Structure 1
Amino acid sequence: MTDSSLSQAEYDAITDAAAHWCTRLHAIDCTAQERIAFEHWRDAHPLHAFEYEAMLEIWEIAGDLPRPDAVEPISHSRPVMPWRTLGIAAAVCALAVPLALYGGWNMGWLPNSYQHFEARETVRQVILSDGSQVELNLGSELTFSNYKDQRQVTLEKGEAFFSVSDDASHPFILKAADGRIRVTGTRFNVWMYEDQVRVNLIEGSGLVSSNDDLVGNGMRLGPATQARYKRGDFTPQISQTDANDNSLAWRSGKLVLDNLELNDALPLINRYLSKPVMVADHNTGSIRLGGIYNIKELNSLVASLPKVLPVYLTRNKEGNPVLNSIPQQAPKS
């Protein structure tokens, strides 16, 4: 699977492969190795599984087709589905699945374009099949599906900045945690860490909901506004973006911490770490941290924290670094 949208040739190749697997898996001599290979193919792209399931439904048609009067059995007199029938079934499947895909598109059930993107150790710029531009921060992952009635993005993890192409009749919906952001043409940033989500709208307008199951479109966001929510929140918290907001500093490779308590600073830091840093208690979490840091060097920041803060490092049983505040000595009388 590639990052670019599927071409007609790629759709045809998926159809042909699905017909092949439909034939082989119903053959008496299908091997265990072939079944493993099929599972790898099926899991490689959502449309693979859909097309195969569609073929299984149509396979019954082949069972009702006329069969030759005599079929040469293999050893041990085990019955085998005639290859003529298998060929007809594959042909029927090859014709029917594109029709099913077309019907699924018209019903709004299936996308006509699917893309998956990851940014690991470098910031990455990508273009979605609708023309929207996305900048992915380190350690980020998202998928894009273009449906007939909407454009849908799922932010699996990390952070992304979106410049959405304007199409009022084809809304752009981003899902993060249990919430969603609905826009048409606008520019906005979405940060996600574990169950926390923060949305910064730069220009345009949008609707934000913290729970996709709730009735309604959500709360309105305008330029220079921010929404925050956690998984399970009934509604997001909306506020004006501070004039000195540094949430987009990552696009320049920086993390800016403006005298934040460790309870607020650590989620911003931990987003880049393989082992999140913990705080031992409330007193430690209330210690403040500031500064400008390179997002690629945050592992070294953790080791240096005892040099700039009244803390020392330990590790919990899972191996996570734990910050502990140094007890203040009472002044001598």
Structure 2
Amino acid sequence: MGGERPIPKQVNRQAAQWFAERESGDMTAQDEARFRQWLAADPRHARAFERAAAVWQSMDAPMLAPIPRPARREPGRRMQPARGHRRQWIGAAIAASLALFIAVESDLPTRWRADVMTATGEIREIRLPDGSTAMLNTGSAIAFAPDGRTVTLLKGEAAFQVAPDPAHPFSVKAGKGASTALGTRFIVRQLGDGARVTVTEHSVRVALARKSAVLREGEAIDYDADRLGASRPVSVADADAWTRGRMRVVNRPLGEVVAELGRYHRGYIRVIGDDLAKRPVSGTFDVRDPVGTIDMIQRTLGIGSTRLTDRMILLHC
């Protein structure tokens, strides 16, 4: 009694891509035939496709095409919309947003390991057993030792305010590195297989393999699996603005700003076009209302958008 076999990540990605191509209206008769072959090749393909459709509907997004059934071929009544760049944008955005949601919902290993997790758009502060506090940013997870003095950042970002206890150092592990508090406040953000450490008060020692660096207030450092970067100055007010539900930017490219806002949005936001993505943006924005912030940026820059509800927003000239 093995039950249903789990769906591999690759199959989920394929299902998201097929769903996107059907919804965007760019499939030819040959594409439809290949899709039907893929659907019938493995029962998990049909399950994955139905899951992609269910995730899309859970985003309050409109269904632009009927859900196919692998057992028999439905007559092709649907008119194929004209091909064009706009349809390609929509298809790519649907695929990316579905893949993102399915990956988040399938993140069971992190859920099993985590003591605390935050959902997309949620910012939450908790008290650790030793009296220190950890504020988790959107889509983040931590695990901690029983005494609270060793924390592992499993995903996302967290800000720590450390309770003093010289006999028991407070450390945060992320990737292969560790950050040990020499003061009281610092932020750790996961970056791929490494992390970024930012000190907002006093100092922190960051160690990776046999290398280490001491950061002072207003400094940050990045590391990956093999390399510890150089420390650099940062604005503390900008770095910890998210702990107050804000995001402060000065002449940052629109693409970067939108990507950062996307962390707080239960949906998909993308800038279309390299020139537009490079356009500088400055301001203080409310990360608790990413759609309202996007609306304000759109009006300020005088640019357009294509939307399938507020869950999927494509900004363009």
TM-score range, shorter chain: 0.5 to 0.7
Counterparts in 2 of 1:201-240, with a 5 A limit? 201-209=199-207, 212=208, 215-229=209-223, 231-232=224-225, 234-240=227-233
In structure 2, C-alpha distance between the alignment counterparts of 1:142 and 1:304, rounded to whole Å: 33
Structure 2 match to 1:274:
266
TM-score by length of 2: 0.53
In structure 2, C-alpha distance between the alignment counterparts of 1:164 and 1:115, rounded to whole Å: 20
What displacement does 1:144 show?
A: 0.8
Q: Which amino acid aligns with 1:188?
A: F
Unaligned residue ranges in structure 1 (runs of 5+): 1-31, 37-113, 327-333
Unaligned residue ranges in structure 2 (runs of 5+): 4-112
Structure 1 match to 2:249:
257
What displacement does 1:219 show?
A: 1.9
Structure 2 match to 1:118:
117
* Alpha-carbon distance change, 117 to 219 in structure 1, aligned in 2, over 3 angstroms: same
Structure 2 match to 1:136:
136
1:289 is the counterpart of 2:281: yes
In structure 2, C-alpha distance between the alignment counterparts of 1:247 and 1:187, rounded to whole Å: 12
CA displacement 1:156-215 (0-9 Å, x = unmatched): 333322111233443322123454322254211223466674322122322224xx5xx3
Counterparts in 2 of 1:1-333, with a 5 A limit? 116-120=115-119, 122-146=122-146, 151-192=149-190, 197-209=195-207, 212=208, 215-229=209-223, 231-232=224-225, 234-242=227-235, 245-314=237-306, 321-324=313-316, 326=317
In structure 2, C-alpha distance between the alignment counterparts of 1:279 and 1:233, rounded to whole Å: 32
In structure 1, C-alpha distance between the alignment counterparts of 2:271 and 2:156, rounded to whole Å: 22
In structure 2, C-alpha distance between the alignment counterparts of 1:220 and 1:278, rounded to whole Å: 37
Structure with the bigger RCO (C-alpha within 8 Å, sep 6+) is 2
In structure 2, C-alpha distance between the alignment counterparts of 1:195 and 1:269, rounded to whole Å: 22
* Alpha-carbon distance change, 193 to 305 in structure 1, aligned in 2, over 3 angstroms: farther
In structure 2, C-alpha distance between the alignment counterparts of 1:320 and 1:157, rounded to whole Å: 24
TM-score by length of 1: 0.51
Preserved CA contact (<8 Å) 2:200 2:240: no
* Alpha-carbon distance change, 161 to 279 in structure 1, aligned in 2, over 3 angstroms: same
Alignment length, in residue pairs? 205
In structure 2, C-alpha distance between the alignment counterparts of 1:186 and 1:153, rounded to whole Å: 15
Q: Which amino acid aligns with 1:198?
A: R
Preserved CA contact (<8 Å) 1:167 1:184: no
In structure 1, C-alpha distance between the alignment counterparts of 2:212 and 2:314, rounded to whole Å: 38
Q: Which amino acid aligns with 1:218?
A: S
What displacement does 1:222 show?
A: 1.4
Q: Which amino acid aligns with 1:262?
A: L
Please, what is the CA RMSD of the aligned residues? 3.5
Q: Which amino acid aligns with 1:144?
A: F
Q: Which amino acid aligns with 2:218?
A: A
What displacement does 1:225 show?
A: 1.2
CA displacement 1:217-264 (0-9 Å, x = unmatched): 4222112212234x4562234112337x42222232222222311243
Preserved CA contact (<8 Å) 1:167 1:185: no
Q: Which amino acid aligns with 1:135?
A: M
In structure 1, C-alpha distance between the alignment counterparts of 2:231 and 2:250, rounded to whole Å: 20
Deviating beyond 6 angstroms after TM superposition, the runs of 4 or more aligned structure 1 residues are none
Higher Rg: 1
Structure 2 match to 1:8:
none
